[in-house]
Amino acid sequence: MEVANRYITIKTQVDGEPKESDFELKTSALSLSLDSGSNDMIVKNLYVSIDPYQINRMKSHSSSQKAIGFAAAITPGEAIDAYGVAKVVASANPEFEKDDLVVGLITWGDYSLLKGGNYMLRKFDPMGFPLSYQVGILGFSGLTAYGGFFKVCKPKKGEKVFVSAASGSVGNLVGQYAKLFGCYVVGCAGSKEKVALLKEKLGFDDAFNYKEESDLKSALKRYFPDGIDIYFDNVGAEMLEAAVANMNTFGRVAVCGVISEYTDAAKRAAPDMLDVVYKRITIQGFLAADHMNVFSDFISTTTDHLRTGKLYAIEDVSNGLESFPSAFIGLFRGHNTGKKIVKVADE
Amino acid sequence: MEVANRYITIKTQVDGEPKESDFELKTSALSLSLDSGSNDMIVKNLYVSIDPYQINRMKSHSSSQKAIGFAAAITPGEAIDAYGVAKVVASANPEFEKDDLVVGLITWGDYSLLKGGNYMLRKFDPMGFPLSYQVGILGFSGLTAYGGFFKVCKPKKGEKVFVSAASGSVGNLVGQYAKLFGCYVVGCAGSKEKVALLKEKLGFDDAFNYKEESDLKSALKRYFPDGIDIYFDNVGAEMLEAAVANMNTFGRVAVCGVISEYTDAAKRAAPDMLDVVYKRITIQGFLAADHMNVFSDFISTTTDHLRTGKLYAIEDVSNGLESFPSAFIGLFRGHNTGKKIVKVADE
């Protein structure tokens, strides 16, 4: 048996802001008969995580990633790989059976052919939650927020926390975890609606629209008259500079991502290092993968809070394979609210 | 009895590079009779520490210091206060006697009048070492190097360490501690003679003259083909950017000072935050005062190494009160090798 497998590729490397014409929908025939003993597997993709960092894998040059061999470059013409939820349709791997639900590295396509058995994929128990949660609040977005906040920021109750891109997939969770932990939390986002979501639904103490602020340093001074203890940075550039200027002694900056710099190689944060010295500020980059040791804590804490209604999963789902490019491009234009997901197919 | 007390002041705030005309030598009469019960004390200044950070106290505006109340601004017309060694000449404080040797906060002057008893000064035992060591290798320069390297950088044996301003008061000690600990150490400095000192006398594995390098990023790539694990930053700006670009995963940057930025408010380091995230780099500012808890370790380790000849005290002493301005100005022109000290008087 054979199926037509549609998938999304980049036509060539993408430098700068991604646009629709950078992407292409291709179709190829995919045989569902697998050689026994190959350990190959074919899964039907259901929910796929749409993440800003993927733009760095699409660039013609990205020294950071080459240096560490992390998240290799995406090859033009091939299906883009991404984290997602899928269902096994054919398996030559004895550990997986047809209809198993799996989460891990799949593709921007209808199906993913996983070869050889070394694929990064595991079975999971939905625990009564929607399958999409596996790519967001119970997946790497959640772990990034949890590990980044608790392990990198090392919060104390009552500390003052600032989150940028606070309505984004990670930011909204950082703010929610910080509130549940007992911190004072202010977030910034890019629209009135997002600001309202943070304040009214997610319980942030305050929030503001950074697009309405001509001087970010003064804005932060207004929202944090007593200074910032923790800054969870998702954006970089001027916001990082403004946060450092408003930080308290022994303040901590967790650098989770720098989305404002991803599509503009010339854009950089130049925080005042005199502040860093005199206020003994720590600026630390991290990846969710560094915090796998807290994965079970993260899952039990997060599912408890979800069940008691103390934590909200904010999802922004686009439907259908054709929506991958616009879903991805929208990340860099601030179109998403919460976790951006493409739903490829029904279970 | 009365003495003529000469002292150095700034005429007005100093923004930008300091120059001779910013300073003034004044003389005032100082009575050596103190009111009993006043706890006042008069000391004769012997050795005074000359430190780059003092320029930040001379500025018309320094937000960092205002924010944290650390090292208050220097008032034009008044004697500049600084860390140094002195001898008590008159004391209305029962804890001190005439001829006691003391170390702590004194002045750029012949004598310091210390009022009220709350002065930051203590008696000390020279332990057989020159008195000048108290303001350098056995004082805050030493503690800065020791605390910064061991507590902030958290080295492991065999790690690769880069030190900037490596022939400076702190840098030369960081390199020596790092070598004694078992790290691979490369330093940069601003002259052929300094580079020779690092390699030939202080045991650095390698060293280079940054003024001969047109591309610091490539230079560091050459000296660290396997990457940098620890960067002890004394200079900031382009060197910090180049170090971050060459850092290994989980690399640590201890920001001790940013001398290249002190006299040029427009000069900033803009390290690539994508590197900081992907390589999980930590950039941490610190002050020696944060590491008082390791003071006794620092003293015992350092005096042991000095006695066995494994550690060298590199001092650069100017003689006489008149030399304060040129000694200080020279710091920003790279004139000093090792700890810059003004010897005001013989014991």
Q: Do B285 and A270 touch (CB under 8 A)?
A: no
Percent residues over pLDDT 70 in chain B: 97
Residues of A in contact with B67 (CB under 8 A): 227, 275, 278-279
For residue A301, count other CB atoms closer than 10 A to its CB. 17
According to the model, what pLDDT value does residue A198 have?
Answer: 98
CA-nearest of A111, A107, A87, A83 to A97 is A87
- Which B residues, 238 through 257, put their C-beta within 8 Å of a C-beta on chain A? 240, 245, 249, 255-257
Nearest Cβ partner of A278 from B68, B281, B284? Answer: B68
Beta strands in A92-227 (DSSP E): 101-107, 111-114, 121-123, 160-163, 184-189, 206-209
Please give the C-alpha separations between residue A294 and each of A149, A302, B250, in angstroms, as whole numbers.
Answer: 12, 12, 18
Nearest Cβ partner of A279 from B64, B269, B280? Answer: B64
pLDDT digits (tens, 9 = 90+) for B24-50: 999 999 999 999 889 999 999 999 999
Q: Do A276 and B285 touch (CB under 8 A)?
A: yes
According to the model, what pLDDT value does residue B92 have?
Answer: 95
Phi, psi of A178 (to 5 degrees): -65, -40
Q: b/e for A254-282, b at 16 or more Cβ within 10 A?
A: bbbbbbbbbbeeeebbbbbbbbbbbbbbb
- Domain A140-289 class in CATH: alpha beta
Instruction: Read off the pLDDT of each residue in A328-345 and give the average, rounded to a whole number.
Output: 97
The three-class DSSP label of residue A281 is coil
- Distance in angstroms (rounded) separating the CA atoms of residues A336 and A212: 19
According to the model, what pLDDT value does residue B116 have?
Answer: 87
Whether complex ipTM tops 0.90: yes
Q: What integer best gives the mean pLDDT of chain B?
A: 95
Q: Do A64 and B277 touch (CB under 8 A)?
A: yes
pLDDT digits (tens, 9 = 90+) for A123-159: 999 999 999 999 999 999 999 999 999 999 999 999 9
Tell me the pLDDT band of A64, cut-offs 50, 70 and 90: low
Mutate which of A56, A64, A273 to disrupt the B interface (most B C-beta within 10 Å)? A273
Chain centroid offset of residue A22 CA: 21
Mutate which of B233, B273, B290 to disrupt the A interface (most A C-beta within 10 Å)? B273
Mutate which of B252, B276, B281 to disrupt the A interface (most A C-beta within 10 Å)? B276
Tell me the pLDDT band of A69, cut-offs 50, 70 and 90: low
According to the model, what pLDDT value does residue A67 have?
Answer: 47
- Greatest pairwise CA separation for chain B in angstroms: 68
- Which A residues, 277 through 296, put their C-beta within 8 Å of a C-beta on chain B? 277-287, 290
Q: What is the DSSP string of B177-223?
A: HHHHHT-EEEEEESSHHHHHIIIIIS--SEEEEGGG-S-HHHHHHHH
Phi, psi of B2 (to 5 degrees): -135, 145
- Distance in angstroms (rounded) separating the CA atoms of residues B331 and B324: 11
| B100 compared with A347, residue with greater pLDDT | B100
Q: Do A273 and B272 touch (CB under 8 A)?
A: no
Note whether B236 contacts A: Cβ–Cβ < 8 A.
yes
- Does position B64 have pLDDT exceeding 60, yes or no? no
CATH 3.90.180.10 for the A2-136+314-343 domain, yes or no: yes
- Distance in angstroms (rounded) separating the CA atoms of residues A225 and A228: 9
- Does position A66 have pLDDT exceeding 70, yes or no? no
- Does position B346 have pLDDT exceeding 80, yes or no? yes
Q: Which tokens sit at B324?
A: 């304060």
Q: Which residue of B has its CA nearest to A255?
A: B277
Nearest Cβ partner of B278 from A70, A277, A280? Answer: A70
DSSP, res B79: P
Q: What integer best gives the mean pLDDT of chain A?
A: 95
The partner residues of A103 in beta bridges, in order of sequence, read A85, A122
- Distance in angstroms (rounded) separating the CA atoms of residues B242 and B262: 19
Q: Which tokens sit at A186?
A: 């202010």
Instruction: Sketch the domain layout of chain A as residue ranges.
Output: 2-136+314-343, 140-289
Nearest Cβ partner of B285 from A261, A262, A279? Answer: A279
pLDDT digits (tens, 9 = 90+) for A80-128: 999 999 999 999 999 999 999 999 999 999 999 999 878 889 999 999 9
- Which B residues, 70 through 99, put their C-beta within 8 Å of a C-beta on chain A? 70
Tell me the pLDDT band of B62, cut-offs 50, 70 and 90: low
Residues of A in contact with B221 (CB under 8 A): none
Instruction: Read off the pLDDT of each residue in A152-167 and give the average, rounded to a whole number.
Output: 98
Q: Which tokens sit at A72?
A: 């290799």
Note whether A65 contacts B: Cβ–Cβ < 8 A.
yes
Tell me the pLDDT band of B67, cut-offs 50, 70 and 90: very low
User: Residues B4, B249: contact at Cβ < 8 Å?
Assistant: no
pLDDT digits (tens, 9 = 90+) for B281-302: 999 999 999 999 999 999 999 9
Which run of H or of E encompasses A30? strand A23-31
Residues of A in contact with B257 (CB under 8 A): 277
Residues of A in contact with B236 (CB under 8 A): 273
Residues of A in contact with B272 (CB under 8 A): 63-64, 268
According to the model, what pLDDT value does residue A70 have?
Answer: 55
Q: Do A236 and B273 touch (CB under 8 A)?
A: yes
Burial class (CB in 10 A: 0-12, 13-18, 19+), B20: exposed
Q: Enumerate residues 6+ apart whose C-beta is below 8 A from B174.
A: B145, B148, B149, B161, B163, B166, B232
The partner residues of A44 in beta bridges, in order of sequence, read A87, A111
Nearest Cβ partner of A261 from B62, B274, B283? Answer: B274
- Does position A77 have pLDDT exceeding 90, yes or no? yes
The three-class DSSP label of residue A337 is coil
Tell me the pLDDT band of B142, cut-offs 50, 70 and 90: very high
Q: Which tokens sit at B264?
A: 């040029």
Alpha-carbon gap: B309 to the closest alpha carbon of chain A (Å): 32
Nearest Cβ partner of A270 from B56, B67, B270? Answer: B270
DSSP, res A147: I
pLDDT digits (tens, 9 = 90+) for B220-259: 999 999 999 999 999 999 999 999 999 999 999 999 999 9
Q: Which residue of A has its CA nearest to B227?
A: A67
Q: Do B261 and A280 touch (CB under 8 A)?
A: no
Which run of H or of E encompasses A341? strand A339-343
Mutate which of A238, A278, A282, A284 to disrupt the B interface (most B C-beta within 10 Å)? A278
* Packing angle of the helix pair A216-223, A237-245 (nearest 10 deg): 50
- Distance in angstroms (rounded) separating the CA atoms of residues A217 and A215: 6
- Distance in angstroms (rounded) separating the CA atoms of residues A197 and A261: 26
Q: Do B273 and A280 touch (CB under 8 A)?
A: no
- Distance in angstroms (rounded) separating the CA atoms of residues A343 and A265: 31
Mutate which of A268, A277, A282 to disrupt the B interface (most B C-beta within 10 Å)? A277
- Distance in angstroms (rounded) separating the CA atoms of residues B60 and B73: 8
Alpha-carbon gap: A277 to the closest alpha carbon of chain B (Å): 4
